[in-house]
A = this chain, B = another copy of it.
Amino acid sequence: MKEVIVGIDVGGTNSPFGFVDRDGNILGKGSIKTSDFEIFDDYLDAFLKEVDNVSGTLNDVIIKGYGIGAPNGNYYTGSIDNAPNLRWKGKIMFSDMVKSKTGLPAYLTNDANAAAIGEKLFGNAKDMNDFIVITLGTGLGSGIFCGGQLLYGSTGFAGELGHTIVIEGGRICGCGRQGCLETYASATGIVTSMVELLSISSKDSVLKRFSESEIDSKLIYSSALAGDKLAKEVFRFTGEILGRALANAVAFSSPEAIFLFGGLANAGEYIFVPTIKYMEENILNNFKGTVKVLPSGLKENTAAILGASALCWNEMNK
């Protein structure tokens, strides 16, 4: 019998899940449509039923627990607290309900924390005790390891680097404040920067042929690859803001490495080179040359499932 953890990635639209063994192999996969379920109880029943279905197709697999990655996930309470992109309002006691329905251990945390645990167990941080994973998606999430432990803080919500204010009076953020890092360094942020730059620059750019609503981070990347100067400049600017913020983060926790993960990180050198340059330029002397900025060791399409399962494996190894 092969022991597995079911890792589930609760998204606004879909909730893919996988059966993950101790070495990070995904032995089976499934998915349910999150947005189909107005009531959480129905969602949970559908999820567990689908787990049974997939389980039936696999040979000799025994489920040892559940790991859940979810927006606004609180590790301490195992609950999803007022997630703006989910239909279930208030506090959803996800892991308690899984435990009571299955009799198995269940742990929950937010997506970026799950990504960090995934990096530690199955990715490029296996031998590291101090590192930060930055997820560059629609927003900017972060999962932080300090002294070999994931940092939860007193509330369970530690590691909100996307909501450190980097420019006072800067861009309006979804959190209601201004100048948060994620309004600049994210797939959304780089689009805003691109639109701003196109409107003020007299330089030519292939992007001027597109309407604002057509511009996304992939188009900016392909334009930069094709040599577009304004697209390159926007990556440099994004890396500058991110690099400066990382220099401050290093003064806090002195990580061995910072991993960049998710959509924007796929732009490779266009984002890594300026980020590293501005981080090193703005870092305290003690830390110069001590921090590696690296791509994640997890594949984007399975990272969330691996991360969620890693959370549970990690707890069971404690």
Contact = CB atoms under 8 A, between A and B. Distances in A.
A256 interface: yes
Interface string A142-180: 001011010111111111110111001000000111000
B287 A155 contact: yes
- The A interface, classified by DSSP as helix, strand, loop or mixed, is loop
Q: Most chain-B CB neighbours within 10 Å: which of A128, A154, A255, A282?
A: A154
Contacts of A175: 284-285
Size class of A's contact patch? 35 or more
A253 interface: yes
A286 interface: yes
A253 B163 contact: no
B177 A284 contact: yes
Contact of A285 (B130, B176, B247): B176
Identical copies of this chain, number: 2
Nearest to A81: B286
B254 A252 contact: no
B244 A151 contact: no
A35 interface: no
Interface string A233-257: 0000000000010011101111110
A129 interface: yes
Contacts of A164: 248, 251-252
A82 to B, nearest CB: 10
A14 interface: no
23 contacts: A144-B253, A147-B151, A149-B149, A152-B254, A154-B254, A155-B290, A159-B252, A160-B284, A161-B251, A161-B252, A164-B248, A164-B252, A165-B247, A165-B248, A165-B282, A168-B244, A175-B284, A175-B285, A176-B285, A177-B282, A177-B284, A248-B248, A249-B252
